[in-house]
Amino acid sequence: MRVPLSWLQDFVEVTLPVDELVHRLTMAGLEVGDVEWIGSDWQPDKLFVGEVIEVAPHPNADRLVLATVAYGQDQPQTVVTGAPNLRPGDRGQKVAFAVEGTELIDAYSETPGTMKVLKRAKIRGVESAGMVCSEKELGLSDDHEGVLILDPEAAIGQSLQDYMGDVVLDIELTPNLARANNIVGMAREVAALSGQPIRQWPPQDDFLTGPYAAKTSYTAVSSADPQLCARYSAALIENVTIQPSPAWMQRRLRLAGMRPINNIVDITNYCMLETGQPLHAFDYEKLQLGRNGIVVRQAEPGERLLTLMALTANSRPTCCSSPTIPVPSLWPGSWAERQPRCRKPLGTSSWNPPISIFSVSAAPLNTCGSTAKPGSVLAGAWIRNSPLLACYVPGG
C-alpha cells in the first residue's frame, strides 16, 4: 500500500521524522518496504508555481505557441511550448515553471532518467529562456502529452518543492492487517504509535444519525446469500457531466498508485483508498435492470463474466449481481471501466465477510477485510463520497 504523507496528515499530524516513523511502523508489524521522496531533487530557487497570463500563436510555427508566465519574480517570462493543452487565448492556468539553469529530466532521451540543464535558446526565431514542465520532465510519470496543470489555488511564486514535494511510504501489509489498508486506518496506526490525536472523521457525523430512504424507485437491491454479501447498497446520481477530476485528486491517486480516469471513477477510487470501502459506478442506462432490480448472488455454474482483472466469474467462486455485474468489493466488470457519455451513474458498494473474499482470491485481498459493522462501513464511505460528488460532478 502506498501512503502519501500529505494525505495521511489530513487525519493525523505526523510529527516524527520519516526515518523514525518508518522504524516504528515496521516494529509494529506494518513493514515499510520503500520510501519515495517526491521532488527532493527539485531546485527550490529555479522551479516555481507559475500562472499563464497569455498564450499567443508562434509567428513562425503552427504547432508552437508563446506562453507568458508570471512566477513571482519581477517580470513574467515568455517561453515557447508545443504543449497541446495550452492554446492561443488561454489564460489563468497554474503551471510548473522552470527558469534558465534548472536541471530537469530529458523527456526526449532514449535513456530513462537522463538529466539536462535548461538553457536559453532560439526556437523558430523566438528566444526562450524557461519552460512550462510536463510530468515527465519533473519525474512524476511518463506523461509528456501536455504540461502539468496545477490546482487553481496554488500560490504564484511558491517553490514547486514546497507546493508538491511529498514522501510516499510503500507499506507491505499482511492479510491480518486489512484494517490499515486505507488512509484513515493507517492514520489510526500512526496516531497510536506517535501519541497524536486522530483528526475526526467522517466530517459530517450528524448525517449518520438520521433515517435514510430512497427518494426514487429506479431500482431495488437484495442479497440472495447474506453469508456471501451481507449488504449491498446503491445510489443513483442524475444529470452528471463526465470530465477530468480536480488536479489535487489526480495527484493523490497517482501517488497512491492509481490511474486517474474521470471525475466519477476517480471519486469512487479516492473514497476507497481513503476509507477502505470499495465503491463502483455503473452506467444506469446500460444496466437493463429487471423487475427485481439488483440481486446479489453467487455465479451460476459455467456463467462467464469478464472483469477488469481479466478473470471470469466461473474461474473461481464469486459473488455477482443480476444482471451480470460484479460485486464491487471483489471484481468490477470490464464493460464498466469507462462510460464517457454516462449521464446517470449508479454508485454501488457492498460489504462482504472476509471469508467470502478469501474464497474468490488466489491471494487474500486486503482491501475488504474490515470486521466493522456493515452499516457503519457503508454509511461512512457514502458520507465521504457525497460531498466530493457535489463539488466535482457538474449537475449531480
The one-digit pLDDT tens for each residue of the chain (396 residues) are 999 999 999 999 999 999 999 999 999 999 999 999 999 999 999 999 999 999 999 999 999 999 999 999 889 999 999 999 999 999 999 999 999 999 999 998 888 889 999 999 999 999 999 999 999 999 988 888 899 999 999 999 999 999 999 999 999 998 889 889 999 999 999 999 999 999 876 545 454 444 444 455 677 787 787 777 777 888 888 888 888 888 899 999 999 999 888 888 898 899 889 988 888 888 888 776 777 777 777 777 776 665 554 444 444 334 444 445 554 444 444 434 445 677 888 888 877 776 666 655 544 444 444 444 454 555 556 556 666 665 666 655
CB 306 within 8 A of CB 333: yes
- H or E stretch covering 56: strand 47-58
CB 308 within 8 A of CB 337: yes
Return the pLDDT at 60.
Answer: 94
Please state the φ and ψ torsions of residue 118, each to the nearest 5 degrees: -70, 125
Buried b / exposed e along 75-91 (16+ C-beta atoms within 10 A): ebbbbbbebeebeeeee
Return the pLDDT at 106.
Answer: 94
How many angstroms separate the CA atoms of 208 and 214, rounded?
15
Residues 6+ apart with CB under 8 A from 55: 65, 66, 67, 68, 86, 87, 88, 89, 90, 91
Return the pLDDT at 366.
Answer: 45
| CA within 13 Å, CB half, 299 | 22
How many angstroms separate the CA atoms of 49 and 121, rounded?
22
Residues 6+ apart with CB under 8 A from 160: 39, 42, 44, 47, 48, 49, 96, 138
Give me the residue spans of the domains in the chain: 2-40+165-194, 47-163, 205-392
Residues 6+ apart with CB under 8 A from 106: 114, 115, 116
The superfamily CATH assigns to domain 205-392 is: Phenylalanyl-trna Synthetase, Chain B, domain 3 (3.50.40.10)
Return the pLDDT at 285.
Answer: 81
CB 180 within 8 A of CB 197: no
Pairing verdict, β 221-223 and 294-298: parallel
| CATH architecture of the domain with range 47-163 | Beta Barrel (2.40)
How many angstroms separate the CA atoms of 94 and 86, rounded?
11
Residue with the three cell numbers 462501513: 377
- Give the pTM: 0.80
How many angstroms separate the CA atoms of 181 and 370, rounded?
9
CB 383 within 8 A of CB 279: no
How many angstroms separate the CA atoms of 114 and 355, rounded?
48
Residue with the three cell numbers 492556468: 93
How many angstroms separate the CA atoms of 219 and 312, rounded?
26
CB 72 within 8 A of CB 157: yes
Give the CA radius of gyration of the chain: 24
Residue 378 C-alpha from the chain's centroid = 19
Alpha helix locations (H) across 89-182?
A: 135-138, 160-164
| CATH architecture of the domain with range 2-40+165-194 | 2-Layer Sandwich (3.30)
Q: How many residues does the chain have?
A: 396
Return the pLDDT at 190.
Answer: 97
